Amino acid sequence: MSSIVQQPVSIFNEFDYITEREQEVKAHTGSVAFDGLSEPILLAQDMSGGCGGKIWKCANVMIDYFIWKNVQSNGTLFKNQKIVEIGSGTGLVGLAVAKICPEIKQMVITDQLPMMDLMQENIKLNHLEHSVTADILNWGEEIPNLSQVLGADVILASDCIYLEVAFLPLLETFFALTNKESSVIYLTYKKRRNADKLFFQAAKKKFIFKDVTEDPKMNNYKRDKLHLFSVMRKPLNQQQLQDLQKAKSNTTTTQA
């Protein structure tokens, strides 16, 4: 029986595992328009630092859904909430959400070090320095207690399921970031390989997945094997709660 293999996650400079390899793009700056946004998003794309340096279709799914959802919410979507995007790449999703939902409390877009300059450039291009910050987040690594990515109300993950070696580190990061009981993950996913089911088999042991279907455009996306899920951590049982309290107590003692 196949299982997830845990290995260190390196910088993703190889594209052989991605079926849309023919869609690699040259470094350039342009604009991306969405129905429902009053102005396009200015975006630099550069794949020299990894596959995250271009726009992927999953981003459109998430952005279109949030535009629609914000209308349904009378413009109050994510009001006063802290949002963290992982695997941000260009930062398109996080930047779009910051424009869709100007009353968010904080937006942090994250990726590995090679993406930092690109994310920061795109924040500046869209004049969102007051509401969006970029930070380094390597999946599977321990997150410092004072990190700005902790305590998020909403976690965004667009097209992060594509490399089997990253499945466990991604799940570990999901678990670390959902440290608030009410934290919700929005996850967009494109089915590429049968191995992807290993991720979902492992993830469903700790998380509850809900297929988001209310967006009027969702049927069109699903024809292209694109999916959107809302994900929440399963409640901890009594033993897990005791283990967590013990771990927190040990951490406090060590810091003292």
Annotated binding site for S-adenosyl-L-methionine: 56, 87-89, 111, 139, 158
Buried b / exposed e along 143-167 (16+ C-beta atoms within 10 A): eeeebebbebbbbbbbbbbbbbebb
- Give the residue ranges of the annotated binding site: 56, 87-89, 111, 139, 158
CA distance 113 to 118: 10
- The answer to whether 107 and 155 are in contact (CB under 8 A) is no
Beta bridge partners of 230: 186, 210
How far apart CA 146 and CA 244 sit, in angstroms, is: 18
What is the rounded CA–CA span in Å between residue 156 and residue 88? 9
Can you name the residues that pair with 227 across neighbouring β-strands? Answer: 189
